[in-house]
Amino acid sequence: MITPAHSMEENDITMSFYRFVRIMDTGRLKIDLTNFCQGNAIIGTIVIAEEGVNGSVSGENAAIKALLSYIKKRLNIEEIIINSATSAIPTFKRLKVKVRKEIVSIGLTDVKPELNTGTHVSGNEWNDLLNNPDVLVIDTRNNYEIDVGTFKTAVRANTKNFREFPEQIKELLEEDLEKPIAMFCTGGIRCEKASAHLLALGHKQIFQLKGGILSYLHDSSKDHSMWEGDCFVFDDRVAVDANLEPADYEKCHGCRRPLSPDDRRSKEYEYGISCHNCIDSLNDNRRASLMERNHQTQLAKMRTAKTLNQTRKLL
C-alpha cells in the first residue's frame, strides 16, 4: 500500500506515538488505519502487534489529531504517548501499515510493558538522575544512534539492534538489585520494554525518561539541558538538533547509517553507494545494484528539473 510523495506544508506536523495495549484484531486494525490515513493524506509508518501500536506519521495538523482520536476510540484507551514537531522538509515518502509480532523487537515473550514498567520521570527529575553518581544511566539505543548524540554521564548498552539489549545489558548490571537505574531512548518505547525486562530480573529502582529524548529536548531550555550533540530519528530527517530542527546528517544508501559532514568528506564515502562503515562489507552484486539505483535516481532528478524548466518557460 503506497501513497504519493507528500510535500510538507506550513501546517503539517510529524508525530510519533505508541501505546502498549492488548489488540486481538490486528488484521482488521491494519485495514482500518490504512483507510483512515489514505483518506486523510497521512504518510509514515505504523506498526501493529497484539501487544500494541507504534507509529511515526506526518500530515496536516488536523488530520494527525483526528488519527490519534480515532486510535484512542478504536482501542478504547484514554492516553497515548506522543512526540510532535514541525519540519520544513518531508519526513516520509509513503504510507506503510504493518502487522508484526512486536511493535518494537526485543525478542522476549515474557516482557509485558502493558502490565509493569519503570517509573516515568521528566525535566528536572531526569537531570537529578543524570547528576547522581549512584545512578546507572543507560542509553538503550543502538551504537550508531548514540554516536550522533547522547546525555552526559550516560553509558551505552553497546547494541547494533534492540534485540541484542537483553544479552548486552548483562555487562552493565550489578548484583545489587537495589541500585537505581535510569534509561532513555528516542521516544520512550524501547525503555518501556527495557524497564519491564529489568523489573522481571528483580531490579527494584528502575526509572525511564518519559517521552524519551524528543520530549526532553522539546521541554528543556538550553541552560538546563544536559543533552550533547544531535538526536537520530527514524525518518528522512535522519537527525534533529536541540531545537528539534533537521540536523546536517544524511543516511548512507549502503548501510543506512547516519553520516555527519565529516563522514561525507571522507575518502571512503561514495554518494549513494557506501561510506566508511560499509565500504569493505559490500559485495560486488550489492555495489552494482547501488550504483544502478544511484544512476537512475540522478536521471529522474534531471528529468524533473528539465520538466520544471520547461514549465517555467511557458508561464
How many Å separate Cα 265 from the centre of its chain? 26
* Beta carbons within 10 angstroms of residue 108's beta carbon: 15
- The whole-angstrom separation of Cα 144 and Cα 164 is 14
Amino acid of residue 264 = R
Largest CA distance in the chain: 75
Tell me if residue 229 falls in helix, strand or coil: strand
Tell me if residue 310 falls in helix, strand or coil: helix
Residue 75 CB-density burial (10 A; 0-12 exposed, 13-18 middle, 19+ buried)? middle
- The whole-angstrom separation of Cα 122 and Cα 55 is 22
- What is the distance between the terminal CA atoms of the chain, rounded to a whole angstrom? 36
Nearest to 211 by CA among 123, 87, 97: 123
- The whole-angstrom separation of Cα 197 and Cα 87 is 35
Catalytic residue among 185, 252, 275, 278: 185
Tell me if residue 123 falls in helix, strand or coil: helix
Number of helices and strands in the chain (H, E): 9, 16
Tell me if residue 231 is catalytic. Answer: no
Catalytic residue numbers, as ranges: 185
